[in-house]
Amino acid sequence: MSTTEQGMVQKAEPGVHHDHHELPFIRQYIFSTDHKMIAKQFMFVSLFFLVVGGLLATLMRWQLGYPGQPMPGGGILPDAMMAPTPGGAVMLPEFYNSLVTMHGTIMIFFAIMPLLVGLFGNLLIPLQIGAEDMAFPRLNMASFWLAVPAGILMLASFGVEGGAAGAGWTSYAPLSASGEYTGVYLGQQLWLVSLTILGFSSLAGAVNYITTVVNMRAPGMTWFRIPLATWALFITAILVLLAIPILAGALIMLLFDQTIGTAFFLPEFDGEPLLWQHLFWFFGHPEVYILILPAMGIASEVIANRARKPIFGYHSMVLAIIAIAFLGWIVWGHHMFQSGMNPMLGTSFMISTMAIAVPSAIKTFNWLATLWKGDIHLDSPMLYALAFVSLFIIGGLSGIFMASTPVDVYIHDTYFIVAHIHYVLFGGSLFAIFAGITFWYPKMFGRLMNEPLNKVHFTLTFVLYNLVFWPMHNLGLQGMMRRIYDFTQYEYLQPLQPMNRFITTCVFLLVATQAVYAFNFFWSMFKGEKASANPWNSNGLEWTVPSPPPHGNFAETPVVHRGPYEYSSPESDTDFLPQTAPPRRQPDRPLEPTPTPEGA
């Protein structure tokens, strides 16, 4: 879609031509440059990591539900993790800290983020804006093949001397900056190297997404005709682009402290532990929105479609995304209220944090208003999307408690925070991911997922999920601190034993339940009902092409005539009106407004 002759030359990229049928297996499935294949690759890898992260969580929960008691089958784990006792293998605190750290790291960086950005970014952006592929298909491939070694290194760190990193996913210095404090040397270094490599992968993706959305939109696809999923992914890419380098710099400095012995974060040489926290959260808070914005976009798509109604306040939805992206840069201090940061800063960060609650509120109300007077089809994508909304409401509201600095003094670093982040990341992001995978499954595999199985999975997951994480608010309010190996060491926390055991039981069930989705996922791939090009009667460009779309996506470049959410429009006899359908000529009003080449 380039404009100048240089551009044309630059377009000499594999994956953009249309002669792919004789592609050898390795170019088609392993080192593919087709955005859809790369999306699937990201999906399989990060779903694998999702499972790993879930299993780590169950190990952790065993220790919390049955502190210091032998774990059934724990014996198979090496003695460095589980101390063998007469009664059986008991978890060691070192291993518990590694579990805490790796669960967080893997879930955030290797499961949720690649699922949202890697899977949906790759799958949706070119299809929804009517591009034949990404702007830089080879860079896209590189992005995936950088993520793989990063993941391998991260997993490998479990096997090394001293075990995996154990300083929390935030790796606060100096605990993380010198192995002498944790006994973890190589593990922490692998953690740092792995995340640095992953950072390059994310950067490659972000550059690609931004260029593609800016430059490769189909004719007529003005800025305010872009579907919200792509809008969210575009803004997310900008956040990734600007936040990841900050993290990369901090990671490398920490790695230097660990290896060659620099002084950045080491107080013994006047290094500044708080410097790490500032850099980490200056990246980390945009990261939070990297993890939720695409989920919001997916939910908007599904809700508008399944409610057969235009999304309520499309423009304010877009503006809210943009506002979040801006405000997201000035609130990082709210992770550091108790860190010894200047209390003056605490106040200003509290105010900005309060302000950023508003755009999220706007989006929530818009989703609700979209349902109002809709024609709601309660099939599984919609159920997941509605779960996203209802649970995101809880996660958002519980955030206000932490935003208020005095209340945060008490609940900071307690299970209240754990509940909050899981309501946003699991209840929010992950349910949206379920919705998205189910909704766009046809565009990946040409079939539909099994509806009854999905409904079973949804019901069980939704119920168990809440049974697990709702009580964690209460644990936090009783003062139970997070990342704690054995809370019964504290007399005042011992009454919480039953509730912790209850949560642990539910976690086991919750993890087991995911087998239903896994089975459905693979079963439908081969046995699922064949999908038409547009099984959901949707308006987006991705539904104008066959399921799954061919290489190069569009036989001829589509022309866009309207926004993506014209459901139940009087202009159409059915209850949907594709973006590509030419407008009906009505004498009283001129043809559609002319899309300016610059976009809105």
Interface residue with another protein, options 61, 217, 420, 457 (CB under 8 A): 217
Report if residue 477 touches another protein, rule: CB under 8 A: yes
Quick one: 186 or 444, whose CB is closer to another protein? 186
> Which residues inside 82-101 make contact with another protein, applying CB under 8 A?
92-94, 97, 100
Residues linked to residue 414 through DSSP beta bridges, in sequence order: 481
DSSP calls for 515-575:
HHHHHHHHHHHHHSPBP-S-TT---SGGGGS-SSPPTTS-SS-----S-TT-TT-TTSSSS
Contact track, another protein, 226-255, x by CB under 8 A: ---------------xxxxxx-xxx--x--
Name the minimum Å distance from CB 450 to another protein: 20
Indicate the residue among 40 and 363 with the shorter CB distance to another protein.
Answer: 363
Q: Which of 109, 231, 282, 439 binds another protein (CB under 8 A)?
A: 282
Site for another protein in 487-506 (CB under 8 A): 487, 489-492, 495-496, 498-499, 502
Shortest Å, Cβ 26 to another protein: 25
* Total residues belonging to the chain: 600
Which pair of tokens denotes residue 426?
């699991």
Nearer to another protein, 265 or 434 (CB): 265
Nearest-approach distance from CB 447 to another protein, in angstroms: 23
Q: Which helix (H) or strand (E) holds 244?
A: helix 228-258
Q: Which residues are within 8 A (CB) of 297 and not within 5 positions of it... i.e. 6 or more apart?
A: 227, 228, 229, 230, 231, 232, 233, 321
Q: How far apart are CA 582 and CA 592, in angstroms?
A: 9
What's the rounded Cα separation, in Å, for the pair 196 and 225?
36
133 in contact with another protein (CB under 8 A): no
CB of 311 to another protein, least distance (A): 8
Is 203 a binding residue for another protein by CB under 8 A? The answer is yes
CA distance readout (Å), 209 to 29, 125, 138, 212, 385: 21, 7, 13, 5, 24
339 lies in the binding site for another protein (CB under 8 A): yes
Size of interface with another protein, in residues (CB under 8 A): 174
What amino acid is encoded at 540 in this protein?
G
CB of 49 closer than 8 Å to CB of 106: yes
Site track 294-333 with another protein (rule: CB under 8 A), x = hit: -------------xxxxxxxxxx------------xx--x
Rounded least distance, CB 66 to another protein, Å = 15
Minimum separation from the CB atom of position 307 to another protein (A)? 6
Residues 528-547 that bind another protein (CB under 8 A): none
Closest CA to 581 of 569, 595, 599: 569
One residue of 69, 71, 80, 413 binding another protein per CB under 8 A: 413
Report d(CA 582, CA 589) in Å as an integer: 15
Based on CB atoms, which residue is closest to another protein, 46 or 182?
A: 182
* Per-residue DSSP letter, 375: -
| By the rule CB under 8 A, 459 interacts with another protein | no
Site string for another protein, 387-406 (x = CB under 8 A): --xx--xx--xx-xx-xxxx
Contact window for another protein (CB under 8 A) among 47-55, 364-372, 456-464, 546-554: 364-372
CB count in 10 Å sphere of residue 68 = 12
Q: Are 283 and 246 in contact (CB under 8 A)?
A: yes
- Element housing 91 (H / E): strand 88-91
Distance separating alpha carbons of residues 551 and 531, to the nearest angstrom: 18
